[in-house]
Amino acid sequence: MYYRKKGLFESFFENRSFLIMQLENGDMDKPTFIRENYDFLLRIGATPFARVNSMEKGIFNYQYYNIMAKYYRSVAIDLEKRGKHPRVALSYRHKSDDQYHKKNLDISYMLNLVEFENVEAYYVKSKSKFLKDKLYEIVFRDYDKAIFHSTADWLLNVLKDNNCFIEGKRKSLIDDYINARY
């Protein structure tokens, strides 16, 4: 009997859905969710696609960069809290910032793929003082669970220039996740 080997997308998104379900059910906290996603990426040897020519690749890359950015940020925060290795902590902060930048570039590639059609963006209500009045949500209406976040001014301007940005603040479609601390 022949069993088809799962592809990268199928394995990644299946694992991610399972972890999201555990997070939503309260079976794991946000730091564990981030670490589990990071460990999975390492286990499968995942790397981002060099060329984003489909939404599937764009969504994968966004999740990859977002996971890496959050993981690096959590390591930096942990080192800073312990007051140890300030240079190493700073290095992790820089790695995190680089991954966030790549994530934002990836969003811009996806926006171009769909030619800004059926995309809406808006500021979201955030409990974080740092993210308040900075964090916005980008929703690709034609794709299931294609909800992305950014604070990048340049990307915000791109969204506004293409009439995708709606003024005002809304509750995020994934409010519990974005407002959970890590």
Give which of 40, 55, 48, 51 is closest to 6, Cα–Cα: 40
> What percentage of the chain has pLDDT greater than the value 90?
66
> Higher confidence at residue 181 or residue 110?
110
Q: Does pLDDT of 94 surpass 80?
A: yes
Mean pLDDT of all residues belonging to the chain: 90
Give which of 125, 124, 114 is closest to 165, Cα–Cα: 124
DSSP 62: H
Torsion of CA 91, 40, 16, 46, to 10 degrees: 80
pLDDT bracket for residue 4 (50, 70, 90): very low
pLDDT bracket for residue 130 (50, 70, 90): confident
Which residues, listed in sequence order, are joined to residue 140 by a DSSP beta bridge? 119
What integer pLDDT is reported at residue 5 of this predicted model?
A: 44
Radius of gyration of the chain (CA): 17
pLDDT bracket for residue 1 (50, 70, 90): very low
Phi, psi of 172 (to 5 degrees): -65, 150
Convert the pLDDT of each residue in 31-82 to its tens digit.
899 999 999 999 988 899 999 999 999 999 999 999 999 999 999 999 999 9
- pTM of the entire structure? 0.88
